[in-house]
Amino acid sequence: MIMELIRQHISIEKYGGIMIWELTQDCKGDKSLLKVINDSFNMNSSVEGDINGDKELNSADLVTLSLFLLGYKNTNIVNWKDGDLFEDNTLNLYDLIAMRKLIIS
């Protein structure tokens, strides 16, 4: 009972309340309501340009992207979308240049 009250209070304080949807007819892929909800709750957990997953943009991300672009197959990219700084849905030289500018500034 107490835990339920705490959950309700947190959900109202942090998220403005709770809505319940019936999701058996939810679509798949990027248009999925569950994906949109999940992405909106996890928005603050990513750092722009952080492709190695250490929660900060630094030279390690620059090296990781460089190795990936050079074709090293064992390059560990945790979230490629955080590295897509040019926003063209691919990792390329433009992202590397944008990442370098972000690190320098």
Give a yes or no: residue 83 inside a domain. yes
Q: How many domains, the chain?
A: 1
Burial class of 46 by CB neighbour count within 10 A (0 to 12, 13 to 18, 19+): middle
Q: What is the pLDDT along the chain (105 residues), one digit of tens a residue?
A: 566 655 655 655 565 555 666 667 777 777 777 777 776 666 556 789 999 988 899 999 999 999 999 999 899 999 899 999 999 999 999 999 999 999 998
Give a yes or no: residue 95 inside a domain. yes
Cβ-contact 69, 92 below 8 angstroms: yes
Q: Kindly report whether the global pTM for this prediction surpasses the value 0.75.
A: no
Rounded Cα gap, residues 52 and 77, in angstroms = 5
Give a yes or no: residue 4 inside a domain. no
Give a yes or no: residue 47 inside a domain. no
